């Protein structure tokens, strides 16, 4: 009975200040907590060390009773802190990752199975199927047959001819897929705005940069285009709606009810940052060929994964400004490319680990401080006239798909798995509804377009 007694107290917090320190300061050691007066917690409260009551007694403890309550004066301090420490543990997402190893079940999408780096959400296939149905409904509602625009990035600013040239003397770890050999490919570049409703260029928006390489080695994934390689870029480094569940909720609540309902759900589920990130990414650039673009999502690169980036090699012409006109982006581009060329460095950034370079959530940026992008190719857009009827018709017939790739460079992550199914289904729907034929992309067809 005379032995020393002690307590080990351990708690896990998401926020030390708002949880542990709040309970300690505002509940345990607050003498007026819960409508009491001059009463600290009897077990862990610092009673003897906190001064005396005005009548000279120590802090007291009151015990509620049915008829008469009891009060004890000079209640001693029972616990004295001898030491403590704060320790940092993996986040909830990291613990979930460790608890759920990558699945190997068959993929309902385009590929035979998941890669070791992938870990899909629960009910992902059902969500993707629902997304496809909702987006098809929205397209049918928004557009009349014969004039069906894309669900995403419906506004085309330009379809441009360009050259994609793989860098010479790449080290072996960069020689994957189309980068395995020093070669130049003709390609189409489509510049667009993302708002589902076509609007004035002056309105801030996310901008798109889609690339279709012509004459690549036969790929194993696509059925419609066997000799193309597509890349899809955005004018932001992250995908704010970065999971299939967030993507589904955004479309469902916006389409079935109103966008504000989606925002309210994000607010009540603690995900309002999604909207803020989305709005921060919207811009009003003076030129679409002088700003950077990112893939936002990862792709296989041999036995690992990468993200892609496009970095312009020149600053915008001082004469190009964001003019308050409906189609100023196309007009500025036509003015610039009438006598000038533009180019981009095509770069890759490598996967490192599931915490700093996550695969399944596009909201998180792969930081570049210790993981820089590496140049592997150059895109050159020569001076040209693109604002023609032939190019405008081509813009509506072009189909960009993540399936247009080799197995060695296939897309990774939930958002990309959703895109695989959705892009294909909506492209077929759009082409069939409008009576448009799929283009047989060959070098000969490319040369025939003026």
pLDDT band at 107 (very low <50, low <70, confident <90, very high): very low
Distance, in Å, from the CA atom of 363 to the CA atom of 242, rounded to the nearest integer, reads: 5
What is the pLDDT, as a whole number, of residue 103? Answer: 43
Tell me phi and psi for residue 338, to 5 degrees. -65, -30
Beta pairing partners, 161 = 188
- Per-residue confidence at 223, pLDDT binned at 50, 70, 90? confident
Over residues 144-154, the pLDDT tens digits come to: 988 899 888 99
Residue 335 has pLDDT above 80, yes or no: yes
Answer for the pair 281, 235: CB distance below 8 angstroms, yes or no. yes
Tokens of 8: 């080990």
pTM to 2 decimals? 0.73
> Residue 106's pLDDT band (boundaries 50, 70, 90)?
very low
User: pLDDT of 228-273, one tens digit each?
Assistant: 999 999 999 999 998 999 999 999 988 888 889 988 888 888 888 8
Query: Is the separation of the CB atoms in 131 and 414 below 8 Å?
Result: no
For residue 57, pLDDT over 60 is answered with no
Residue 30 has pLDDT above 90, yes or no: no
Query: For 160-193, what is each residue's pLDDT tens digit?
Result: 999 999 999 999 999 999 999 999 999 999 999 9
E strands along 68-177, which residues?
Answer: 70-72, 155-166
d(CA 343, CA 228): 21
pLDDT (0 to 100) of residue 58: 58
Q: Which position has the token pair 């930081």?
A: 367
- Which pLDDT value is given to residue 357? 93
Average pLDDT of the residues of the chain: 87
For the record, the structure tokens of 305 come out as: 């994964």
Residue 5 pLDDT grade (very low, low, confident, very high; cuts 50, 70, 90):
confident
């Amino acid at each position: 009975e005379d032995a020393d007694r002690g307590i080990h107290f351990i708690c896990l917090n998401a926020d030390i200040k708002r949880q542990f320190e709040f309970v300690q300061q505002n509940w345990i050691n607050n003498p007026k907590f819960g409508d009491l007066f001059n009463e600290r917690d009897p077990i862990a409260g610092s009673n003897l060390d906190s001064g005396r009551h005005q009548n000279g007694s120590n802090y007291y403890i009151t015990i509620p009773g049915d008829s008469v309550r009891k009060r004890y004066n000079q209640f001693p301090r029972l616990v004295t802190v001898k030491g403590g420490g704060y320790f940092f543990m993996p986040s909830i997402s990291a613990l979930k990752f460790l608890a759920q190893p990558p699945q190997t079940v068959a993929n309902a999408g385009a590929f035979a199975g998941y890669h070791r780096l992938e870990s899909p959400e629960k009910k992902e296939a059902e969500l993707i199927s629902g997304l496809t149905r909702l987006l098809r409904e929205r397209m049918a509602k928004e557009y009349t047959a014969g004039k069906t625009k894309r669900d995403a990035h419906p506004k085309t600013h330009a379809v441009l001819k360009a050259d994609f040239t793989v860098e010479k003397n790449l080290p072996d770890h960069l020689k994957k897929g189309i980068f395995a050999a020093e070669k130049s490919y003709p390609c189409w570049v489509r510049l667009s705005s993302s708002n589902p409703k076509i609007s004035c260029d002056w309105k801030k928006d996310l901008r798109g940069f889609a690339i279709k390489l012509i004459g690549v080695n036969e790929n194993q994934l696509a059925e419609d285009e066997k000799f193309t390689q597509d890349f899809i870029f955005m004018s932001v480094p992250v995908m704010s709606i970065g999971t299939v569940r967030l993507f589904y909720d955004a479309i469902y609540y916006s389409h079935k009810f109103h966008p504000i309902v989606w925002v309210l759900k994000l607010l009540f589920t603690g995900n309002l940052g999604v909207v803020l990130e989305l709005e921060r990414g919207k811009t009003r650039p003076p030129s679409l060929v002088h700003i950077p673009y990112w893939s936002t999502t990862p792709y296989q690169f041999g036995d690992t994964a990468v993200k892609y980036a496009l970095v312009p090699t020149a600053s915008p012409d001082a004469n190009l400004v964001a003019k308050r006109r409906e189609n100023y982006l196309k007009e500025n581009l036509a003015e610039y490319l009438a006598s000038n060329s533009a180019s981009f460095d095509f770069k890759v950034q490598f996967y490192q680990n599931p915490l700093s370079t996550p695969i399944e959530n596009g909201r998180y940026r792969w930081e570049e401080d210790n993981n820089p992008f590496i140049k592997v190719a150059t895109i050159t857009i020569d001076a040209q006239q693109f604002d023609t009827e032939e190019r405008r018709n081509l813009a509506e017939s072009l189909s960009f798909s993540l399936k247009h790739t080799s197995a060695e460079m296939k897309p990774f992550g939930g958002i990309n798995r959703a895109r695989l199914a959705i892009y294909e289904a909506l492209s077929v729907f759009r082409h069939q509804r409008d009576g448009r034929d799929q283009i047989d992309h060959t070098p000969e067809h490319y040369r025939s377009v003026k």
